[in-house]
Structure 1
């Protein structure tokens, strides 16, 4: 069944120290889904996602750390901060947690001022991409190829509501034609599949189909003139 996305992140405060518990693995999957199934379409529209949108790169607590990973070889991962190497990515992740936790993306913009995101649960909530995994179908991506679990109507309804909230906040239809088109696209790509009718997510694919077609047309034109 669906994993409750809120369980992926918990913020505890003990003796003045703030501990962030946000699933790095699920956040990574959410980021991968955004990059593969949304970003190409947003770029095609030349649309700038607001930082208030939870899909914005600045709202990923692990973004800076993930950008400081280097996969050198099949059994070699390097930390971009201190250049230490590891056999597996999970060991590098643990290293980040132990040695570079101060470099987590914990700052958010509030008007003209930067405030610490761990001042309150509400302010930190948007920094954990794992929290929106339900809306983005992370479990579908993780379990692709395996036997489909029984659909939970209540979970599907919750995830659809979260998904529609993302569409409204990230692509407000009042912000013009591009935002309106992306709003409709987001509903088709992610939200409509949150049902127990058997519909699948990512129905619009990984990239605009016109991109591939136009590339073939350009190649054909070049070949024609070359003959």
Structure 2
């Protein structure tokens, strides 16, 4: 009994300090909750400031790839300057500046050239651009290249193994109309022979394939030629091996010739004279 009283008396100082400690603990917890709420509120405000973009980055990238590979080589060859009013102009791609600041370091490493952050895949870098560098989007009217995918045959580039679906005449007609309007606005025949040639090329390259008769194939004129690394290695190896081969043949023939001469010399010296 006396021991129980002693324990109760010894715990009395802690009970006495409890009213003074509790407000401090509650105050720290309240401040922590306040900062968390403030951070969440700032994040919501940050997201609220982001413009709502109704344009597919992936399809826009496919459209630009087609423009760059299957149109620009002919435009550069003709030394023709596309007007900024043309929707195929690089300035009319809302993602162009962001795409130009992608650094493909390695197979599993992509880097943002704005803030130097690294990511394991391109899709994570795209998300980073959407979240952190959305202010660099040129999201004006008519700057979504994905809207031109119907005319430019993006599906052919995005999924080359995709089974061919049944042709829809109404969709083909819409895409052909869009394609021809691009040809008229980007390469007006009234601007001279160069524009007329590019106008005709654009119709053959992109527009004629928008039909259900299965006649003309899209992107028939081919695209930008890329240097094949394997082909380049084979060429270098061939250039190194051919001289070695001829050197080996030369040395082999020289040794064979030398051996024949030695045999002749031995046969002459070792021949016995006939008795008279």
Larger relative contact order (Cα-Cα within 8 Å, sequence gap ≥ 6):
1
For 1:186-219, what per-residue CA distance to the aligned partner results, in whole angstroms no more than 9, with x for missing partners? 00000000011113101111159xxxxxxxxxxx
For 1:80-127, what per-residue CA distance to the aligned partner results, in whole angstroms no more than 9, with x for missing partners? 100000000000000000000001123xxxxxxxxxx3xxxxxx1x10
- Contact 1:41/1:207 (CA < 8 Å) preserved in 2? no
Shift of 1:18: 3.7
C-alpha separation in 2, matches of 1:146 and 1:89 = 22
**When the two structures are aligned, how many residues end up with a matched partner?**
178
Shift of 1:143: 2.7
- Secondary structure of the 1:21 match is coil
Q: What is residue 273 of structure 2 aligned with on the other side? A: none
- Runs of 4+ aligned residues of structure 1 deviating over 3 Å after TM superposition are 15-18
Scaled by the length of structure 1, the TM-score of the pair is: 0.75
Structure with bigger gyration radius: 2
C-alpha separation in 2, matches of 1:205 and 1:43 = 15
C-alpha separation in 1, matches of 2:103 and 2:200 = 36
Q: Which one has a larger percent strand, Structure 1 or Structure 2?
A: 1
Shift of 1:57: 0.2
C-alpha separation in 2, matches of 1:127 and 1:100 = 17
Scaled by the length of structure 2, the TM-score of the pair is: 0.62
Q: What is residue 93 of structure 1 aligned with on the other side? A: 126
C-alpha separation in 2, matches of 1:65 and 1:133 = 20
Q: What is residue 174 of structure 2 aligned with on the other side? A: 158
1:82 correspondence with 2:115: yes
Is the alpha carbon distance of 1:16 and 1:79 closer, same or farther for their aligned partners in structure 2, counting shifts above 3 Å? Answer: closer
> Unaligned 5+ residue runs, structure 1?
1-14, 107-116, 118-123, 209-227
- Secondary structure of the 2:53 match is strand
Q: What is residue 82 of structure 2 aligned with on the other side? A: 49
- Contact 2:51/2:134 (CA < 8 Å) preserved in 1? no
Shift of 1:17: 6.5
Is the alpha carbon distance of 1:33 and 1:52 closer, same or farther for their aligned partners in structure 2, counting shifts above 3 Å? Answer: same
